[in-house]
Each structure stands twice: as C-alpha cells, then as structure tokens.
Amino acid sequence: MKTYQEMSRGELLKEKAALEAAFEKIKARGLALDMSRGKPGADQLDLSMGILDCLDSKAVLEAADGTDLRNYGVVDGIYEAKKLMADMVGTKPEHVIVYGNSSLNIMYDQVSRAEIFGYCGSTPWCRLDKVKFLCPVPGYDRHFAIMEDFGIEMINIPMTEDGPDMDLVEEYVNHDPAVKGIWCVPKYSNPQGIVYSDETVRRFAALKPAAEDFRIFWDNAYAVHHLYDDDRAEILNILEECEKAGNPDMVFQFCSTSKVTFPGAGIAAVSASKANLDDIRKHLTLQTIGHDKINQMRHAKFFPDADSVRKHMAAQAEIIRPKFELVEKYLKKEIASHGIGRWVIPKGGYFLSFESVPGCAKKIVAKCKEAGVVLTAAGAPFPYKKDPDDSVIRIAPTYPSMEELEEAVKVFVTVVRMVTVEKFVEEESDRQCQKGA
C-alpha cells in the first residue's frame, strides 16, 4: 500500500473524496463519545469497593500508635498511610507527608508557598521580577495551568524516549537563576507514556542549579500504574539519587491513590528531604487541622502490603490494557500504514500521545467533535495551550467502554486520514500555484 506521501495528486483527491464521504456518514449517526478524560472507568472503580468495608461502626478507629483517627491531630498523616505511600514510590515513611485526596492540591500549595514564603528561608518568588519553570512537552495541562495562575513563565523542553532533553535542562537550570523548577512525570509520562531512563534520573539528581531554591516537581502519578504486570517499568529513586549527588533538598515527589482506588476519595502524599518536610510542616500546622485520618487508615487496611497494591493494579490493567491495545491496533492499521502519524506504545499510565503531520491537530480535534467524538483540546499538553507544531493529540482510552472506544477510534482514524489528505492536497495546490506564479 502506498503512503499518502507517495500518492499522486489524483490518488490523493480520490482518497479525499472517499474519506469525506465516510465522514459525512459518521456525522449522520449522531455519536456522543468521549476520549478526552484520564478517568478510570466504572468497572475499574468497582474493584475498589471493598475499601468501603475496611472501617465500619464496629471497627476500632485507632492507629498503631494509639491515635484516635476520629479526632483532631496528626497534621502530617498517620504512619500506616505514610508507609503505604512510601512503598508506592519506593521511599521511606519518614520522608512522606500524607494529605487529603488530591496531589494536585499539594503541588499547587507548594508553588503557592514558594510565592509567599519561599522555600527553607529563600526569597519568596512574589518578590522576584521573573520566575521560570521548565516544562517538558508534551506534558500535563494541569501543571501548566498552575503556572499560568501564578504568572510563572514556562519554557518548553522537548521530550526524548528517555525523558526530557537533559542537555537543555542542564543548560537552563545550571545557568539561569530565574529557573526555579521543572515539572516531571517520570514514569509513564502524561501524555506520552515515556519512562525516564536511569541516566536521565541521575542527570536530574546531579544538576547544579543556579537558583538555591530550584526544585524538581517529580509528579510520580503513575508509579504503580502498569499495563503489563510482567513488564513493570521501574525508575531510579529520585530522593536517593539527589541525596547521593549532594542535592538532598532539590526534589518534591508527589503521588496519590487517585487512579489506584477512587479519584474522588483517595489519599495523596509528598515525599522529600527532612529539611523540605519541616519547611512544609511549619506552615501546614497553621493551614489545616490535618487531613482525613480515617480515609488514610481505610487505604492502609485495603492495602496491607506492596504486593496487594500490585495485584490490585494488575486487575485494573486487565480492564484497561485491551483498550490501549485496541487503540494501537487501529493506529497501526489505519495510520501507520499511510505514514501519517507517530506515537509511543505505552506500557503504563493513562494516555497515548498521537502526533499527526504538523498543522493538523486542531483540525482533527475539531472534526472529531463535529462527528460526536470529544478529544482533549489540541494544544492542551503544552504551556499556554500552544503546540508549536499543532500536531499532538492526547488520547485517553480508559473511560469509555470497549464498544464506545472502538466506535470513537474508528472515527478518529478516519478523521486523521481525512484531515491529513486535505492538508496534502492543499499543500500540493499551493505548490502548483507557486510553480505557476
């Protein structure tokens, strides 16, 4: 089969007509499908229902240290929950503070605290003329939204298959004191599913920041979210590596059970050096009476050890892996064969990142919407919502059912082909005009 690049103008026009006809037929069906949201499906959530029985009115609501879980106290989380969260990201309980249900909230607070108070005695960022963050792209839109809220300048860092372009990261971090942070999703990155290599992690740990208060925002959101139980990616422990490299205070690691148990009712944590945690605790004590210790214990009971987490995530993988494989099948068949797109096949996480021919993403998303299939907005995985190549589309296959997903993917690949052919035809016309002119 010829790729679109190899087709003659006549062949392209024929293909275009066929695809546009197919598109009209799809539109007529009035579909309402959604591949935009990184949400677990109801069947995944069903696997966690048992957590609601872990503590009932007959339970003794006490932590091992005697703390009454129902009452005030314990601002940084009960030990049992610290242990669970530490195990999830491979660190020690004493390096962990457990919060409520949202790791995003912890990240936001960390930025907010830097703005007002500064880290560990450094100058508050609100007093500086300029604060910059590095943003590996494509990345997580909610990270970038926090930056926009605080008016922090974002700098794009291209991703490689081993993680962010570390030459560029070192260049910025080690020479520009206005660069105060970098956003990382080190395992099964959102949206590409890339796993940072050991060398990448070590180069992160060995940074020599120009800013004394530079911090790596290590959002280990998918630490245990493997698609293949027998092929689980492991990354180096960033806290340990930073400590070894003489940079113990350079990183905040975030994690949560949002996509482990219930996104609406999980627990979240930050892990960091003692100096950083003490700095957090100093303000946290004034900020809150503490977080929900009963829900912390519910999680600790539901997951008595690391192996129980692994099994639980393997059961979830059974549900979502076929969805990823379905998307990959159609991409391979309908897109790869025509040579008009790229993607990484992820082994975990919640997303695929589809990269179209440059200049097509917005139109693909718009046309899919016209046909009743909602995708994440083009540009969303970039700072300021600007994809410089207009080519990245985040695909979230987990929430729809297999049937809905298959419908949606079929629409998607048809639209990708149509928009790409239209683009090629248009470009060809332009070239003809230029020749003629």
Q: Take residue 19 and report the two structure tokens written for it.
A: 């695809």
Min separation Cβ 270 and its own copies, Å: 14
CB 213 within 8 A of CB 230: no
Query: Looking at beta carbons only, is 283 or 410 nearer to its own copies?
Result: 283
- Residue whose structure tokens are 């006490």: 62
Between 151 and 388, CB nearer to its own copies: 151
Q: Which is nearer to its own copies, 271 or 295 (CB)?
A: 295
Residue 29 vs 37, nearer CB to its own copies: 37
Question: Residue 235 CB, nearest distance to its own copies (Å)?
Answer: 24
d(Cα 56, Cα 60) in Å, to the nearest integer? Answer: 9
Report, in angstroms and rounded to the nearest whole number, the Rg of the chain calculated over CA atoms: 24
Residue 125 C-beta: closest distance to its own copies, Å: 10
Q: Nearer Cβ to its own copies, position 228 or 384? A: 384
Contacts 24+ apart (CB under 8 A), 5-8: 5/339, 5/424, 6/339, 7/424
- Judge residue 415's burial from the number of C-beta atoms within 10 Å of its C-beta, 0-12 exposed, 13-18 middle, 19 or more buried: buried
Task: State the minimum distance, in angstroms, from the CB of residue 303 to its own copies.
Answer: 16
Residue number, 295 or 353, with CB nearest to its own copies: 295
Interface residues with its own copies (CB under 8 A) are 37, 39-40, 42, 45, 48-53, 55-57, 59, 68-74, 100-102, 104-105, 108, 112, 115-117, 126, 142, 145-146, 149-150, 258, 262-265, 283, 286-295
Residue 127: CB minimum distance to its own copies, A: 8
Helix axes 198-205, 166-175, angle to 10 degrees: 10
Give 57 or 434: the residue with its C-beta nearer to its own copies.
57
Tell me how far, at minimum, the Cβ of 110 lies from its own copies, in Å.
12
Decide if 389 contacts 9 (C-beta within 8 A): no
Class of residue 382 by CB neighbours under 10 A (exposed 0-12, middle 13-18, buried 19+)? buried
User: Pick from 51, 38, 37: which is nearest to 265 by CA?
Assistant: 51
- Please report how close the Cβ of residue 77 comes to its own copies at its closest, in angstroms: 11
How many residues belong to the chain? 437
Say if residues 254 and 221 touch (Cβ distance below 8 Å): yes
Report, in Å, the least distance between residue 378 CB and its own copies. Answer: 20
d(CA 351, CA 191): 5
Distance CA(367)–CA(373), nearest Å, equals 9
Q: CB of residue 135 vs its own copies: minimum separation in angstroms? A: 15
Q: Which is nearer to its own copies, 96 or 114 (CB)?
A: 114
DSSP label at 400?
A: S
Mention every residue, 6+ apart, whose C-beta is less than 8 A from residue 299.
51, 81, 84, 257, 261, 266, 267
Residue type at 93 in one-letter notation: P
Quote the CA–CA distance of 408 and 33 in Å, as a whole number: 6
